[in-house]
Structure 1
């Protein structure tokens, strides 16, 4: 069986990039090939501060896309390794939609606290139950 190749798409903000990079590194430690797609600005920040101290070698590949977030569909066949899964920051819904359209396995990653996610997912129920109104009061 071929090595799985995961395309990782973080939300382009430091509070999102670093936890997503840590997830990518954990995948590489399990033998998964990872292509980490970043905006040009964040790519420069990450690559200037990232050392391959864990010896990931060619299993960890970092690429950048223009800040305009051009479609990455032409990047799904880098080095002849087909992307087998897309993991995108939950704030990058477009990446999940593109993966679905291309029939690629996909997962959303939430880099913030689980409490924040639980709160966000509960807002509608709080409104429905009359605990808060649409304005949050």
Structure 2
């Protein structure tokens, strides 16, 4: 997918959420710069703390829909804050859906610090709750949560 260079970080982020809801993982990873870096500062042991490059991010995200069936990022819970650096936004959001393995509910709040250059994600620090992956009977291997 080609993304216009003039797209703002907030617009790109909102577009990325629509792609995740559509389960368009190739489209989502196509929003990344070739050398983009995704970080998980609260990753539990055995989970990656950092992914370097679009290909590594794509490999990590590929099975996401097999683990989490996202239904919504409620607008009431989505806040995109601009920063003094016009390339960077801080995002507060909530994702809701269901866990595929258990058919149980999925409801997670996130904070992300995202930098965009040339219309592509270059840095994405995903602050999610690692306790959610410790839920018995839920296999999140290969997913982003």
Q: Which has the larger radius of gyration?
A: 1
Please report the TM-score for the alignment, with normalisation by the length of structure 2: 0.24
Question: Going by fraction, where is helix more abundant, 1 or 2?
Answer: 1
Please report the TM-score for the alignment, with normalisation by the length of structure 1: 0.24
